[in-house]
Structure 1
Amino acid sequence: MDYTRKQNNMNMTEDKSEHAVLLARFEQEDAVYLNQFAAVYGLVGERLQMPRLLHSLGVAQTAAGLALAFGGDAAKAYLAGLCHDIAKELPREQQLALVKRSKLAQDEGVLAHKVLWHAPAGSVLLADLAAVHPELDDAVQNACLWHTLGKPAMTRLEEIVFIADLIEPGRDFPDLPAIRQAAAQSLTAGVAACMYGAIHFLEMEGRYIHPLAYEGYNYYKNKLNESN
């Protein structure tokens, strides 16, 4: 999803001192998780520029909080959130090569739209890294795979990372308060709100919307209605 962070988007340069303050805050608040996953944090950090790394730390922190609230594994949620954009800044040709090894290798909608490449590319990169870092298991890989498109009937971890990517503290867009409120109610409500917001944003921008976005939204909307 392509929403902006506070006061900037991912392609603009922020003040380096502000970056340093934010990074120090994350590293202090999340020291337990970052010590547990120190090697993976290093792998993520060497692949991402500071604005994207701060976003990833925000997603990780938010994912852990959602897991604690809704009965998930907080450490695994933190790890998956930390890794979700690991391939985002790879050169396009490297992303595409990884996509062609992914579960979405035959998906024409994904192949035709570069903005969708980083999620399947990241899942394959994590699978490769799992040979040395077994904590990057199938569940973490799949959370990375689906964090952009979403789909019907995601796992709890996939739902958590999908929501966290949109509502992390650095995000800032008009519908965000309502989406955060929905996410505080349940994962189902949070996913439905995130999917609706993403579809609405893409429609307003006149941009491509993958069929899975509609399928996922209809699934979670119906699931939410059935639970009410």
Structure 2
Amino acid sequence: MNWLENREALLERVRAQMHEKRYRHTLGVAESARQLAVQYGEDPDKAELAGFLHDYCKCWPVDVMRDILIRHDLPEDLLSGEKELWHAFAGAIVIQTEMNITDPGIIQAVRYHTTGRPGMTLLEKIVCVADYIEPNRDFPGVKKIRKLAEQDLNQALVTAIGGTIQVLIEKKKTVYPLTLLAYNDLVSGLDA
């Protein structure tokens, strides 16, 4: 099924996976991703679809996500780390296996929307930033990230990921290594 041609079926399927607040967030991410894609020269349909799918597994039981990650041989450090990251990696697998999403850009944007990674594509950056700035988000610093996103996507992403790292450190939680690598890669790109 071409999900872009059957938007209503896609939205029904996504809605069935989550509670109402998460669904509203998902719609906000899709809308923000579309806007950022138009602004920065990415395919708006792909960005919107990735936004719709980014939290597909977010509300699934952790045991189900763990089984998916184990069956697909994902990194051990992911399994031993924060469970909050699992939904992105499990979601990337599920949208391929259950929804026949074959576009590697969309799959990668879903996979890395929580951790980032070095060498992020434009679509990955858009979905990651959209997840931070969608209209329903309200946390310290979100207005600054929204303003930066209007001017410089990389600056917005560095600020967002940097803020996440800072919060994790303050809470004495582990920072997933890929997130640190993503941050360092983005910061080094700002100096270039």
Taking structure 2 as the reference length, the TM-score comes to 0.92
Partner of residue 159, structure 1: 125
Q: Which runs of 4+ in 1 moved over 3 A?
A: 33-36
Q: Give the corresponding residue for 2:87.
A: 118
**Equivalent-residue separation in structure 2 for 1:40 and 1:137 (angstroms):** 16
User: Residue type matched to 1:50 in 2?
Assistant: E
The equivalent of 2:40 in structure 1 is: 70
Partner residue in 2 for 1:5: none
Residue in structure 2 matched with residue 60 of structure 1 by the alignment: 30
The 2-side partners of 1:159 and 1:36 are apart by: 26
Query: 122-131 or 63-72: which moved more?
Result: 122-131
Q: Distance in 1 between matches of 2:17 and 2:151?
A: 34
Larger Rg over CA atoms: 1
Q: Any idea what the Cα deviations from partners look like across 1:171-213, whole Å, max 9, x if unmatched?
A: 1111112211221122211211111111111111211101111
Q: Indicate the residue corresponding to 1:129 in structure 2.
A: 98
CA RMSD, Structure 1 to Structure 2 (Å): 1.8
For structure 2, which runs of at least 5 residues remain unmatched after alignment?
A: none
Instruction: Pick which of 93-102 and 65-74 moved more.
Output: 93-102
Gapped regions of structure 1 (runs ≥ 5): 1-32
Tell me, in whole angstroms, the C-alpha distance in 2 between the residues paired with 1:138 and 1:94: 23
- Match among 138, 143, 149 for residue 109 of structure 2: 143
CA shift, 1:100, in A, is 2.1
Residue by residue, what CA displacement relative to the aligned partner does 1:72-127 show, whole Å, maximum 9, x if unpaired? 0111101100110000111111111112244x71232x101212111111011101
* More deviation, 60-69/182-191: 182-191
Q: Given the two structures, how large is their TM-score scaled by the length of structure 1?
A: 0.78
